Amino acid sequence: MRKIPIILLTLGLAAYSGLTLAEVAGDSERGAAAAVTCNACHQADGSGKNIPGGESWPRLAGLNAAYIAKQLQDYKSGTRTNASMMPFASMLDEQQIADVAAYYAGLPATPGSGGESADQSMLDRGKQLARRGDWSEYIVSCASCHGPDNRGAGAVFPGIAGQHAGYIKAQLQAWQEGTRNNDPQDLMGSIARRMSDEDMHAVAVWLANQNSAAN
C-alpha cells in the first residue's frame, strides 16, 4: 500500500510546525503607503481580481502576515517566480516587506470569485477534495494542512477559503508542472501531481465560494 502522501504530510508538519520567519515588526500605516503600487492588481481593499477564463490576482486581505512576508521574500530571492511580482518585491527591503504584510493582514477578508460556473456534481467533488481528500487517488485533503474550514494554519499554510478560483487553479497547475516549488517538503507538488484538471477546477471553484472571514 502506498503511503507517500501521509509520510510527506507528517514530515512537512513536523519540520515546519515551529517555523519562524525573520522577526521584523511590521507597521500597517507604513505598509499602506508602500502597497500603493500593489493596488492595480490586488486592489486597494486587498481583494485581488479574477477574470473568468483569464488571469487571476490573489486576495491578500486577511491572510497571515508572516505568510505574505514569506512569499514576498521568495519573489525577491527568486525562490518563487512571477514576471509581475519579482520586480516589485525586489524594490522592498525587509522592513517594507514586513510593513506591507502587516497592512494586508489587517484588512478584512473579502469574498472570493468562483469565476466559471460549476454544476452540483462538480461542487460536491470539490467539497470532497477540500474537506476529506480522495485516498483512492492518494490525494490529501486541503484541510489537512490549511486548517479547519481551510481558513489557514499559521505562517506556512495560508487561508484558501474565499480565494479566487482562477488563482487557486493556476497555483495547483504550477505545482503540478514544477514551476512553483516553494512549499515545504514538496507537499503541494506531491498532491497536485495526483490531481486531474477537472479536480483542480472543482476544488478551486468550491473553495472560492467558501467563507474567508476567519482567515
- List pLDDT tens digits, range 50-64: 988 889 999 999 999
CA 3 → CA 9, 15, 21, 23, 35, distances in Å?
10, 18, 30, 36, 43
Residue ranges of the annotated binding site for heme c are 38, 41-42, 85, 142, 145-146, 188
User: In a 3-state reduction of DSSP, which class is residue 134?
Assistant: strand
Binding-site residues:
38, 41-42, 85, 142, 145-146, 188
The pLDDT of residue 139: 98
The pLDDT, as a whole number, for residue 213 is: 76
Domains, the chain, in order of start with CATH, read 4-17+112-208 (1.10.760.10), 28-105 (1.10.760.10)
Which residue has cell 505598509?
A: 31
Beta strands in 17-172 (DSSP E): 49-50, 56-57
Give the C-alpha separation, 145 to 141, whole Å.
8
Residue-level pLDDT at 214 = 56
Residue-wise burial string across 163-173, b where 16 or more C-beta atoms lie within 10 A, e elsewhere: bbbbbbbbbbb
Segments of the chain scoring below 50 in pLDDT: 1-21, 215
Q: Distance of alpha carbon 199 from its chain centroid, rounded?
A: 17
- 0.85 cut: is pTM over it? yes
What is the separation, in whole angstroms, between the first and last Cα of the chain? Answer: 36
Q: What is the DSSP secondary structure assignment for residue 108, as one 8-state letter?
A: P
CA separation (Å) from 140 to 2, 136, 160, 201? Answer: 13, 10, 15, 16
Contact indicator for 46, 62 with CB cutoff of 8 Å: yes
pLDDT digits (tens, 9 = 90+) for 13-34: 444 434 444 578 999 999 999 9
By three-state DSSP, how is residue 157 classified? strand
Q: How much is the pLDDT for 14?
A: 40
Q: In the structure grid, which three cell numbers stand for residue 4, read together?
A: 507517500
Taking CA atoms, 185 is separated from 74, 156, 191, 213, in Å, by 16, 12, 11, 29
Q: What is the pLDDT of residue 84?
A: 94
